[in-house]
Amino acid sequence: MSPERPQASSVITYSPAYTLVPTYECFNRCSYCNFRVDPGQDEWLSLSEAETRLRSLQSQGVIEILVLSGEVHPDHPRRSLWFNHIYQLCHLALNLGFLPHTNVGPLRRDEMQRLSQVNVSMGLMLEQMTPKLLQTVHRHAPSKDPQRRLQQLEWAGELHIPFTTGLLLGIGESPMDWQDTLRAIAEVHQRYGHIQEVILQPHRPGTSQTWDGDAFDANRLPDVVAIARQLLPDITLQIPPNLVSVPTLLACLEAGARDVGGIGPTDEVNPDYPHPCDRTLADHLEQAGWDLRPRLPIYLHHDDWLAPDLHNRVRAWRQRLGS
């Protein structure tokens, strides 16, 4: 007799992923950042090097290529070069059999539309809607203006781009700010139905940040999940497993989280906290009654939004996964 198939309510998903970083240089200077370097201080990832890396991943079960970049100022002469390079990396990943997901900061509407031709989904962290952070951790980060980032979510909905966003917790916001940010996401999603996941990311101090803020209190994270579950009933909630202990992760799952995001060799945003091995994570979850399964970076109910070529590629991956 075959083993009983776990109920859908016990399934936790993750994306087998690899991150490509076109450049770490960024004109923003968020004081908690452990990712950026100053503009002009980084050698951009070449297409040939990217191809070498991607070809080495073709037999390793990787599905998603997360293209994650520092930001070039919208008015900088290299902006168009930067954007075209991102487009070419996504096109390359597609041609090598992967499914790209891009998160490169705020874009113009026409830039989003063009990237949607070579991405099955895209993302941008809303972080927090409160403008008070522009006087503290975002004082030197113009693109962290909350209204500008909320505009990205609006455009993504108008353009039918499956989208991931999220909150960064513990950077000086209040519990009321959590609710305001979650409500802003809910209002946009109610109009367009395009938000696939909301990441609830606790701040963990890194070795490169200039801010001396403490780590987010992990004991409060399940409470944030419960609030988000109430305000976002039809959106998957994601907890990064490398930023929490196993007991905290399990408590968040009990509170309503159902995804642990992209699992790959390195968390480029939090390089001091490596991702757990998917097999190790699966063992921890199985002991607690959860079933960890791989997923695509686009959810099934959004497949029909894709152009025919992208739709065919996604369908082929679904057949491989049996989903």
Query: Where along the chain do its domains lie?
Result: 16-321
Mean pLDDT in residue range 92-110: 98
3-state SS record for 254-310: HHCCCEEEEECCCCCCCCCCCCCCHHHHHHHHHHCCCEEEECCCCCHHHHHHCCHHH
Residue range 23-29: average pLDDT? 97
Phi, psi of 17, deg, nearest 5: -135, 160
pLDDT at residue 157 in the model: 98
What pLDDT, in 10s, does the model give residues 174-222? 999 999 999 999 999 999 999 999 999 999 999 999 999 999 999 999 9
Output the DSSP codes for 221-261: HHHHHHHHHHH-TTSEEE--GGGS-HHHHHHHHHHT--EEE
- Around Cβ 172, how many Cβ atoms within 10 Å? 18
- C-alpha–C-alpha distance, residues 232 and 167, integer Å: 13
Asked if CATH classification 3.20.20.70 holds for the domain at 16-321, the reply, yes or no, is yes
pLDDT of residue 322: 87
CB count, 10 Å around CB of 188? 22
Q: In which band, very low, low, confident or very high, does the pLDDT at 8 lie, cut at 50, 70 and 90?
A: low
Instruction: Look at residue 295 in the predicted model and tell me its pLDDT.
Output: 98
pLDDT tens-digit series, residues 253-265: 999 999 999 999 8
Please give the share of the chain, as a percent, with pLDDT higher than 70.
98
For the beta carbon of residue 72, count every other beta carbon within 10 angstroms: 24
Tell me the HSE value of 304 on the side-chain side, using a 13 A CA sphere.
Answer: 1
CA distance 256 to 90: 33
